[in-house]
Amino acid sequence: MSDPEPPASPGRRPRVAAAVTAAVLFAGVAVLLAVSTPWHPLPGHVPGGPVPADPALDFTRGEIARSRAFDAAINPSAYAGLIVGLAAALVLGLTPFGARLIGRTARRLRRRPLRIALAVVVLTTVLRLIGLPFDIRGEQVLRRYGLSTQSWPSWLGDQAKSLAVTWVIWTVALLLLYGLLRRFPRYWWAGAAGGAFALVVAVSFAYPVVVEPVFNKFEPLPAGRLRSDLLAMAARDGVPVKDVLVADASRRTTALNAYVSGFGSTRRIVVYDTLLKSPPARIESIVAHELGHAKNGDVLWGTLVGALGVAGAVCLLSLLLTSPRLLARAGVPARRPGEPGSGAADPRSAALLLALVTVAAQLGGPAQNLVSRHIEARADAHALDLTRDPGTFVSMQHELSVRNISDLAPDALERALWLTHPAGPERIAMARDWARMHHVTAPPPLTGR
């Protein structure tokens, strides 16, 4: 008879528990995505099936050429910014450079919370400055093509506001995280996962009323025929909407857009003021799309999936953040018994944490975009069901694509990295398929073919 296996060492038990918890949480995310994602948003519709997504059917040669030219102009700065930003985060986190930078800038601060806050400010500012030349180049392209209406001071002001919001969110998160690391050095990840879940929910709830007003002014849609028709459509759809807000987007862009954000008492449907220049029927079509998001609880489901995913990521990150090899590579002193501020609890490990989060976000982005495209397609189907007007839907999608200079034929890499919505021709093809399936006259090609 063989001897019984020795019990797991005290240092190993927390890591095993963290790994198991991460697996359970990610399994929960997978189940939620499998259940809540509309993998077939329009039953019977097969993308690229009976009705092809052919840009030439609805877009002129000039419109297609302009889309391609804009894509060719904006992509180099976008890809370069992505690569350089990721490389910079890895250099800061996986070499001693980041730890030394934090140590030198915060060495005169004795209070630990101040050292953590300064670490956040230093790291996020460095990364933002590294990416700034690529953002400027992208803004120049937007100006050249008439999509941006901002002055440079206004644009820089928005960049500063965005950076300040980043400081606040990251500082709150890291103060809580490092507090748990010091107080519960073995099972800190459990409290951190719960805190991350709560923080995601809180941000999703508060974002519409706290963060969005920092960048835009919102006013109720003025009383009139359009407002009455939109509220009546929402009532007919069974979606409680107290108001429809208009964002002053024209001070920043000429693009058209509308969106739904928040949930519960903070849920709101917002339309850009640039959209108000479109015919009322087209506005109703795009608002019907947003009502689809509200009726299906897309923000609530997205928040739940995101909160569970972030909680699972925290458990997984704990295994990496406490790895002696990674800590040594990052230039963070190993944890010493009796010193709760050493090892992963040392504020100098913030650079490693930021690098790990950056990599995780990049790896998860394509999956998020895939799910988002299906959710957006379901909202399109909802708009068609609600308005029963595929002709207006097609003309609205054409206007959106042309005004926003959308990519009409994205390649696989662009689709994975950037596309949160189906391409315009795909949405138009779906509308024609909807018309065929519902025995409604299908909109003819807009180019006259």
Note the pLDDT tens digit of each residue in 116-129.
999 999 999 999 99
Q: 139 catalytic, yes or no?
A: no
CA dihedral angle for residue 94, residue 96, residue 97, residue 99, rounded to 10 degrees = 100
The yes-or-no verdict on residue 5 having pLDDT over 60 is no
Model pTM? 0.91
pLDDT-derived band at 43, boundaries 50, 70, 90: confident
Is a pLDDT exceeding 60 seen at residue 339? no
The structure tokens listed for 166 are 């980043």
Q: Tens of pLDDT along 148-157?
A: 999 999 999 9
Catalytic annotation, pick one of 290, 389, 407, 426: 290
Question: For 364-389, how does the pLDDT look when each residue is reduced to its tens digit (9 = 90+)?
Answer: 999 999 999 999 999 999 999 999 99
Residue 318 in this model has a pLDDT that exceeds 50: yes
pLDDT value for 342: 52
326, 382, 371: which is closest to 349 by C-alpha?
A: 326
pLDDT of residue 203: 87
Q: Is the pLDDT of residue 46 over 70?
A: no
Q: Does 207 score more than 60 pLDDT?
A: yes
Query: pLDDT of 190-199, one tens digit each?
Result: 999 999 999 9
Chain position carrying tokens 């795009």: 286
Residue 197: per-residue pLDDT: 96
Angle between helices 350-387 and 96-106 (to 10 degrees): 100
The angle that helices 390-403 and 424-437 make with each other, rounded to 10 degrees, is 180
The answer to whether 327 and 350 are in contact (CB under 8 A) is no
Query: Of 304-313, 333-342, 359-368, which range is least confident?
Result: 333-342
b/e map 430-441, b = 16+ CB within 10 Å:
bbbbbbbeeebe
Rounded mean pLDDT of 218-242?
90
- pLDDT above 70: residue 410: yes
Marked catalytic residue, from 139, 284, 380, 389: 380
Annotated binding-site ranges for Zn(2+)? 289, 293, 376
63 annotated active-site: no
pLDDT of residue 49: 53
Residue 3 has pLDDT above 50, yes or no: no
* pLDDT number for residue 7: 41
